[in-house]
Amino acid sequence: MREDALKHLSKAREFLDAADLELHMELHTAAASSAVLAGINAKDAICLRLTGRTGKSDDHRAAVPELAAAGPSGKALESTFRRLLGLKTAAQYQAAPISRTDATKAVEWATRMVDAARDATHS
């Protein structure tokens, strides 16, 4: 499971790097979408490392309690992950663009998630 956790961490970092670049280029909707994907992969890395499994569901909101149940580090990220997932539909499916403010918040939240995934996978 550690190997799979590291693979998800690598994907999370890649999506976070993309989100940072997109934010710098003022591609706010793309930045928010990439940040959401970074957060989802970070959650998978954390859960795989701490519990040995991660759920796969079309409804990513189900992933929030899974993260919270992964232990103290997962519980600490519960509200961050919930807020990040709250932007998924707007960033990926709705016609209206994401604001600079929301994109910046999404990247900040994803950064917290990826940092926690790094810590979990390297412990």
Is residue 69 scored above 80 in pLDDT?
Answer: yes
**CA torsion, points 82, 61, 40, 6, in degrees to nearest 10?**
110
Q: In this structure, how many other beta carbons lie within 10 angstroms of the beta carbon of residue 59?
A: 7
> Residue 2 pLDDT more than 90?
no
Find the distance separating the first CA and the last CA of the chain, reported in whole Å: 14
The pLDDT value given to residue 58: 67
pTM here is: 0.95
- Residue ranges of domains in the chain: 2-121
Q: Amino acid identity of 57?
A: S
Task: For the beta carbon of residue 45, count every other beta carbon within 10 angstroms.
Answer: 29
Give the model confidence (pLDDT) of 16-59 as tens digits: 999 999 999 999 999 999 999 999 999 999 999 999 988 876 67
* pLDDT at residue 57, as a whole number: 67
> In the predicted model, is pLDDT for residue 5 greater than 70?
yes
Q: Name the residue with higher pLDDT: 68 or 60.
A: 68
Predicted local confidence at residue 123, as pLDDT: 73
- The CATH homologous superfamily for domain 2-121 is Nucleotidyltransferases  domain 2 (1.20.120.330)
The yes-or-no verdict on residue 89 having pLDDT over 80 is yes
Q: What is the mean pLDDT of the chain?
A: 94
Separation CA 114–CA 9 (nearest Å): 7
